[in-house]
Amino acid sequence: MLHIKCPHCGMRSQNEFSYGGDASVKRPELNKEITDEEWDNFVYNRKSLRGKHLELWQHLSGCRQWIKVERDTATHEIFNTYKAEEEIS
């Protein structure tokens, strides 16, 4: 079970969180003309990375905030966690 540092609440057990997938995916703006390919990339196409992955988790049984977690998908090492609005350098 992972130990995830919620940037709002502190270190919490994985079972308080739910997984939300790749955090680098950006929803196309509303009312914008986009190609089918752009839309498919947003809805369906995901990389199945081995290694460092920026991903979304929601602290469901805690503050209910969506957060970003930088995690190694192979070793499960967590390098950093960020608030939703935080800029990631």
Tell me if 88 contacts another protein by CB under 8 A: no
Of 9, 22, 70, 78, the one binding another protein by CB under 8 A: 78
Contacts of 88 (CB under 8 A, 6+ apart): 54, 68, 70, 82
Tell me if 62 contacts another protein by CB under 8 A: no
6 interacts with, out of another protein, Zn ion, none, CB within 5 to 8 A per kind: Zn ion
Contact 50, 73 (CB under 8 A): yes
Residue-by-residue DSSP string for 29-45: PTT----HHHHHHHHT-
Strand partners, 53: 71
Tell me if 51 contacts another protein by CB under 8 A: no
Distance, in Å, from the CA atom of 11 to the CA atom of 40, rounded to the nearest integer, reads 36
Q: Which residues bind another protein (CB under 8 A)?
A: 1-3, 13, 18, 20, 27-28, 30-31, 34, 39, 42-44, 56, 58, 60, 64-66, 75-76, 78, 84-85
Q: Which residues bind Zn ion (CB under 5 A)?
A: 6, 8-9, 59, 62-63
